[in-house]
Amino acid sequence: MVDAMVGLLPLLPIISAVTVVFLKEEKRVRRVSNAFALATFLLSLYLLLTALAGGEGVYAFTAFLSFRLDALSALMSAIVSFISLVVHFYAGRYMQDEPGYARFYALLDLTVSAILLTVTAEHLLLLFTGWSLTGTFLYFLLTHNYGRRPAVRYGLWTLVIQRLGDAFLLVALLLLAEGFGSYELTGLFERIEQEGEQKRLLLELAGTFVVLSAFAKSAQVPFHLWLPYTMEGPTPVSALMHAGIVNAGGFIVNRFAPVYAFAEVGLHLAFLVGLVTAVLGALLMLVQPDVKKALGYSTVGQMGYMMMEAGLGAFALAVYHLFAHGVFKATLFMSSGTVIHEARKDPNIPEDEIYKFFVERELPPLKLPWYFFALITVLVPFGLVVFAHLAAGVDAFKYQGAVVLLFFGWITGAQTVFSIYRYGAKSPVKTLLFVLASFTVVILGYVFIGHSFERFLYPDQELIKRIYLNAEIDPLIFELQILLLTAVAVAGWFYVYYAYESKEVIIEKLRERYALLYRLLARELYFKEFYEKVGELLTTLGRRTDELFRGLVR
């Protein structure tokens, strides 16, 4: 029975898509599509419970149509189908009276089906089929309003980047299949375990190409620009794309986790590119005047964090991150879409006071010395993170990856404390206590629950240990980097607090110094111009090549 259920999971959205195309009334289209989305979600929950109960396995109808039910596929299916269900119900109201109503729902269902096919596939070519179709259907969704030139133009950007990612993944899959003689994941992983040491170079190449395909799908630098520019599509598409589709990069790296027990180059590349993407996405988000574009760069930054976690060997944390980010970002996009949708109909939009509130307002005077607040910012989050690991009996300093995660946990907590101080509150002490309590709950929850989550996803803890060790670099270089970054972070926070106390002199210097940086970020580091130049060059090259071949034929 379970085999039929696993095969039915990606089939239900296809049946929905075929059905709604023949319906004319919007109400019937919405009800049928929503009913199938609900059925898909309930089925995914059943499969997740089956996986939790130990019902994992491979279910094959033919050699090609074979499906894999394990912890990763069951969890990803539940996440995708839940986000799909929410987006379906939201789209019913948002897309009302829009042209192409049934076509939109059909494309939405087909996109969800392609994602579910990707996460449940056992055969490598079936996995690639789902991966490739996801990008294709995404293009059609983004260009749903094909009368708008920006939607078509930036949708084409997305399609090109997606096809590039497909090429990377295809190379990786062919290397693995031909190198180890198996097109099924189960057989492939068994042979990697047996022959991995002898074929380490092959695994290094394959692991690098898998990571490159993840970069394209998850909008990592330099393939990131398609994501913030695809905002001309309907908001439900943005919600599905940012909450579900871009997470596919994290999934594909996790799916081939056994490869990274022997492939360290791909892990180091994932960490470096993820780090650059996280920083760049956060910086560019801060200078965007458009709400949806700012959310787009926020997603870029979060995908950078997720890829960085995978590069550290924390594969389970990357999955946890993509799940949390998916739910959070879907909520943000649908909320922003509702506001934007209503604002377009409101002729009396009030003046935006956000910039004045955050930038121009005067802060309340400090009642305690500036270094007191600086010490709280630095020490309290660090103490909470270390305490949580000690309370759980977890050695946070055993692996380099764990140390880096501890470092970023401290940075995030300290930044939260600083933000409370920076923006002020009517009752700052009370607010700070609430924030610290929430932060403590999150850290304790991750430490206690997170390790159980890791054991659920990867029962073979030896595999995870080997991946952690593969992600490590020379200990001396690593320790120097951590010390340098810690010194920079602490000095930066102390400097900011001191600058506030001496603001007449220092703040003006900072404004002059960072005006150039702001202008550079506002132009998005000229990535768009670079893309356009490359496009013009390729177009010219293609035209001249065409003329050359036409001349030869004549």
Give the pLDDT confidence score for residue 259 in this predicted structure: 95
H or E element, residue 389:
helix 370-391
Distances (CA, A) of 208 to 166, 268, 474: 14, 10, 20
Both ends of the chain: CA-CA distance in Å? Answer: 63
Mean pLDDT score of the chain, rounded to an integer?
80
| pLDDT single digits (tens) 25-38 | 888 888 999 999 99
Please, what is the Cα angle at 472 between 471 and 477, to 5 degrees? 140
Judged on CB neighbours under 10 Å (0-12, 13-18, 19+), 415 is: middle
The mean per-residue pLDDT over the stretch 467-482 comes to 77
Give the pLDDT confidence score for residue 501 in this predicted structure: 65
For residues 66 and 123, the answer to whether their CB atoms sit within 8 Å is yes
| More confident call, 326 vs 187 | 187
Give the pLDDT confidence score for residue 550 in this predicted structure: 74
User: In which band, very low, low, confident or very high, does the pLDDT at 443 lie, cut at 50, 70 and 90?
Assistant: low
Judged on CB neighbours under 10 Å (0-12, 13-18, 19+), 270 is: buried
User: In which band, very low, low, confident or very high, does the pLDDT at 18 lie, cut at 50, 70 and 90?
Assistant: very high
Statement: residue 317 has pLDDT above 70: yes
Statement: residue 377 has pLDDT above 80: no
Count CB neighbours of 339 within 10 A: 11
Report the range of poorest mean pLDDT among 30-44, 75-89, 274-288.
Answer: 274-288
Euclidean distance between CA atoms 42 and 36, whole angstroms: 10
Count CB neighbours of 200 within 10 A: 13
| pLDDT single digits (tens) 211-247 | 999 999 998 988 988 888 877 777 788 778 877 788 8
Euclidean distance between CA atoms 332 and 326, whole angstroms: 10
Give the pLDDT confidence score for residue 503 in this predicted structure: 58
Q: Name the 3-class secondary structure at 271.
A: helix
| More confident call, 349 vs 272 | 272
Q: Closest by alpha carbon to 249, among 205, 196, 302, 296?
A: 302
Euclidean distance between CA atoms 527 and 519, whole angstroms: 14
Give the pLDDT confidence score for residue 339 in this predicted structure: 59
Torsion sign over Cα 260, 261, 264, 267: positive
Amino acid symbol at 66: S
User: In which band, very low, low, confident or very high, does the pLDDT at 61 lie, cut at 50, 70 and 90?
Assistant: confident
Report the range of poorest mean pLDDT among 156-170, 215-229, 379-393.
Answer: 379-393
| More confident call, 395 vs 207 | 207
Tokens of 338: 């509702």
For residues 403 and 468, the answer to whether their CB atoms sit within 8 Å is no
Euclidean distance between CA atoms 51 and 457, whole angstroms: 10
User: In which band, very low, low, confident or very high, does the pLDDT at 260 lie, cut at 50, 70 and 90?
Assistant: very high
Give the pLDDT confidence score for residue 359 in this predicted structure: 44
H or E element, residue 60:
strand 57-60
| pLDDT single digits (tens) 183-217 | 999 999 999 999 989 999 999 999 999 999 999 99
Give the pLDDT confidence score for residue 459 in this predicted structure: 85
Instruction: Say if residue 10 is preceded by a cis peptide, omega within 30 of 0.
Output: no
Report the range of poorest mean pLDDT among 117-121, 133-137, 280-284, 435-439.
Answer: 435-439
No. of helices (H) and no. of strands (E), the chain: 22, 2
The string of DSSP codes covering 95-146 is: TTT-TTHHHHHHHHHHHHHHHHHHHHB-BHHHHHHHHHHHHHHHHHHHTSST
Tokens of 492: 């930066």
Give the pLDDT confidence score for residue 357 in this predicted structure: 42
Torsion sign over Cα 455, 464, 248, 445: positive
Euclidean distance between CA atoms 145 and 150, whole angstroms: 10
Given the structure tokens 């926020």, which residue do they identify? 298
- pTM metric for this prediction: 0.83
Statement: residue 353 has pLDDT above 50: no
Give the pLDDT confidence score for residue 360 in this predicted structure: 45
Report the range of poorest mean pLDDT among 275-289, 302-316, 358-372, 454-468.
Answer: 358-372
| pLDDT single digits (tens) 533-544 | 887 888 888 888
| pLDDT single digits (tens) 107-117 | 999 999 999 99
* DSSP code at position 392: T
Given the structure tokens 């189908």, which residue do they identify? 81
- Contacts with 50 (C-beta within 8 Å, 6 or more apart), sequence order: 2, 5, 69, 74
Give the pLDDT confidence score for residue 187 in this predicted structure: 93
Percent of the chain with pLDDT over 90: 31
Report the range of poorest mean pLDDT among 74-83, 228-237, 298-307.
Answer: 228-237
* DSSP code at position 259: G
Judged on CB neighbours under 10 Å (0-12, 13-18, 19+), 118 is: buried
H or E element, residue 36:
helix 26-52
User: In which band, very low, low, confident or very high, does the pLDDT at 529 lie, cut at 50, 70 and 90?
Assistant: confident
Q: Is 19 left (phi over 0), alpha (psi -120 to 50) or beta?
A: alpha
* DSSP code at position 424: -
Give the pLDDT confidence score for residue 348 in this predicted structure: 54
Tokens of 282: 């956060």
Residues β-bridged to residue 58: 68
Q: Name the 3-class secondary structure at 59.
A: strand
The mean per-residue pLDDT over the stretch 530-553 comes to 80
Torsion sign over Cα 107, 113, 116, 117: negative
